[in-house]
Structure 1
Amino acid sequence: MPIGLTVRVLKVGLTGGIGSGKSAVANRLTALGAVLVDSDRIAREVVAPGSEGLAEIVAAFSDRVLDAHGALDRAALGALVFGDETARRRLEAITHPRVRARAAELVAAAPADAVVVNDVPLLVEVGLAPTYHLVVVVQTAVATRLARLSRDRGMDRAEAERRIAAQADDDRRRAAADVLLGNDGTLDELHAAVDALWRDRLLPYERNVREQRVARPPEQVVLTEPDPTWPEQYARLAARIRHAAGADLRVDHIGSTAVPGLAAKDVIDLQLTVGSLAEADGPLADRLAEAGFPRLPGEWWDNPRPAGSERWEKRLHGSADPGRPVHLHLRVAGSPGWRYALLMRDHLRADPAQRAVYLQVKRELAATAPDSAGYATLKDPWFDEEHLRAEEWAAQTGWRP
């Protein structure tokens, strides 16, 4: 379900392990007004009796996979493909394209202001996360899931454990999650969390995507202590940007959140490398906006180093997601601003002493700066000096961007 230029809805991927309570989240979101695209339901639809999908499965695996009524015998098919990688891939080649095509039809039919929730059990396993504006993962302790599968589905423990082991583990799902919903409590607690997600994030996110508007971070400067998940967040954003760009463009994590141990404003800075500013102004800008990264209006430059030289022009996009502020800098490959962003990041990563000095400067300025613009301006004298040290370090180490 790729992000395309003709679909203006907010696309949310919903996933979770078997027994996690993902269906309860889907039902609550539907009750709040979301349009649900249920991949399991579609998967049954595309192999229904009389369908081309079922005919192709029979041609591939014989009529042993049919029950007495001519419908797909899922248990028999599962016995054939479980543990057989070649057979599983053969089945997926038949079903997955049909499921994706039907899901795309349902998304295209959704109202222009819809929040479309795609319930995909294997979203992480098949690598679909970058195709959504947001990925929501329902996470529940394995013991709780085993109890639910026994109570609600009559599944014996050995079968439940086998099903859980066949899916992605919690760590892998957590790495793919923009939103992690814990579901070890009561249904009322789960509903309250879903309601807050809908009200505070999904509705404003949809509006911002539709209107191609950036969710601006607060103007007041607040430094956040180092967050170990910043690199994971960058990785998710970069994958989404590459998918939207339609090419394997270079996306780097830059700025303070890219430097381990450094307190920073909780804004992820990314640099997208382009061949020219004309490329940045072309269809790429529209694709980024559709993916949730609209362009900020006006003209943007980086302050040059040394000060007083010609300004370094760039394009600047932000995030439409109110829950994750982003600055997306589009800079031309090899340009001074492009090189400078990578040099300063790598120098601060490599030099603990200068990193400590910079942290102290940041804390002092954050305490006195009236707003983000003033904070950035007040840092300029330090960066003028640090740029010289960084260039010396680059020459000594042979650094290249």
Structure 2
Amino acid sequence: MLRVGLTGGIGSGKSVVARRLVERGAVLVDADQVAREVVAPGTEGLAEVVAAFSDRILDADGALDRAALAELVFADDAARRRLEAIVHTRVRARTAELIAAAPPDAVVVNDVPLLVEVGLAPAYHLVVVVQTTVATRLERLIRDRGMSREQAEQRIAAQADDARRAAAADVLLTNDGTLAQLHAAVDALWSDRLLPYEENVRHRRAVRTHRVTLAEPDPTWPQQYARLAARIRHAIAPADLRIDHIGSTAMTGLPAKDVIDIQLSVPSLADADGPLAERLADAGFPRLPGDWWDSPRPAGSGRWEKRLHGSADPARPVHLHLRVTGSPGWRYALLMRDHLRADPDRRAAYLMLKRELAAAAPDSGAYATAKDPWFDEEQLRAEEWAAGTGWRP
């Protein structure tokens, strides 16, 4: 099963995207619909809302008058937080029930207007954000929902801004064009990413890149790492393990293979082989089969064992290295990252080597092995730098 979080500002066209995904075959869990269900007449949720805001938020039939409630809470941050505390817990519980009832091979789309605001992004395999200019959203809210301009502006201001939503997005769908353009983008997302992603998660299959191609520096690599790390942290909770961005994509301005390298620190390899591995696989980070280790430096000092996981997402390759805290391989990954971050000349020398090796078009294994002699020498410089600066991992 693939869990997709779908969100967007009010008036962005998020519901249009949800309907199109359902037409393609997705199972939709609509948070707004669930929110109505948990405060329906006769529910404990409605009773608690009335206790908090009085019966003035009820209509003549005893049902929740959503317009009256909105008028109260959208102009009052404290009131809105009080309402959210009542409703969100019930919505999450009911949502979990609906997701659990979906088929094991389903792509479940959870349409959540406040997904970013309430910090739900790490709970999904993928977050899709629908983004539309504020001017267009205002026009839609006034024209289609009968709001005054002031009401529409209040609703938009009460939600996260575009920059905050974009930071949470694995996929950003821009909805400033035609309906046909939006449908085409959704269809491509469904066939090219969501379906293969679901199949990979279900079969515990990671995406591998075998040919080395250097990409120009992507300023969003740190942001992508942050989303992945949050997803990993959510998956392994309540364990509180150190997670680090390592490798070339962790160095600003350095061309690299477009693969995010992440180090997860574990107490022992036995811990890495236990339930932790299954939790990571469930979250979209399956273990790669076989034995994995880092090349020892200096040579002959014994191999540095680790576990290696990848990503089931066909559009975001990841190498997730599980190394024992304090082990030589664990320390080396952090040392070389920090040393090269601190020394632009050595970073430039490393880039020259990378370009030479990539031009020879080796596969990933040969490329990694070919870098070993350079790193054998560079480790000596790194240790001198660490001693001189008092560096600690």
Cα displacement string for residues 305-338 of structure 1 (whole angstroms, at most 9, x for unaligned residues): 1122100000000000001000000001100000
TM-score normalised to the size of structure 1? 0.96
1:133–1:197 Cα change, 3 Å: same
Q: Does 1:370 align with 2:362?
A: yes
Q: Which whole-Å deviations, capped at 9, do the CAs of 1:326-358 have from their partners, x for residues lacking one? A: 000000110000000000000000000000000
Q: Is 1:154 aligned to residue 156 of structure 2?
A: no
What residue number does 2:308 align with?
316
Equivalent residue, structure 1, for 2:339: 347
Letter in 1 for 2:364: S
**1:227 counterpart = 2:208:** no
RMSD across aligned C-alpha pairs, in angstroms?
1.0
Q: Deviations over 1:223-258 (max 9, x none)?
A: 000000000000000000000001232110000000
CA change 1:144–1:88 in 2 (3 A) is: closer
Alignment of 1:2-401 (within 5 A): 9-217=1-209, 219-246=210-237, 247-401=239-393
Aligned-partner residue type, residue 257 of structure 2: K
Instruction: Tell me the TM-score normalised to structure 2 length.
Output: 0.98
Deviation for aligned residue 1:144: 1.4
Distance (Å, rounded) in 2 between the aligned partners of 1:174 and 1:86: 26
Between the aligned partners of 1:89 and 1:148, the Cα distance in structure 2 is 26
Contact 2:259-2:318 within 8 A present in 1 as well: yes
Cα distance in 1 between the residues matched to 2:48 and 2:172: 38
Which has the higher mean CA deviation after the structures are superposed, 355-364 or 246-255?
A: 246-255
The structural deviation recorded for 1:277 is 0.6
* 1:146 shift after superposition: 1.5
What's the offset of the Cα at 1:26? Answer: 0.2
Offset of residue 161 of structure 1: 1.4
Distance in 2 (CA, whole Å) between partners of 1:360 and 1:201 is 34
1:80 is displaced (CA, Å) by 3.2
- Any conservation in 1 of the 2:308–2:322 contact (CA below 8 Å)? yes
Question: What letter corresponds to residue 52 of structure 2 in structure 1?
Answer: A
Q: Which runs of 5+ in 2 are unaligned?
A: none
Q: Where does structure 1 lack aligned partners over 5 or more consecutive residues?
A: 1-8
- Say which is worse superposed, 244-253 or 287-296, in terms of deviation: 244-253
Residues 285 and 312 of structure 2 are in contact (CA less than 8 Å); yes or no, is this contact kept in structure 1? yes
Matched residue of 2:81: which SS?
helix
Give the Å deviation of 1:83: 4.0
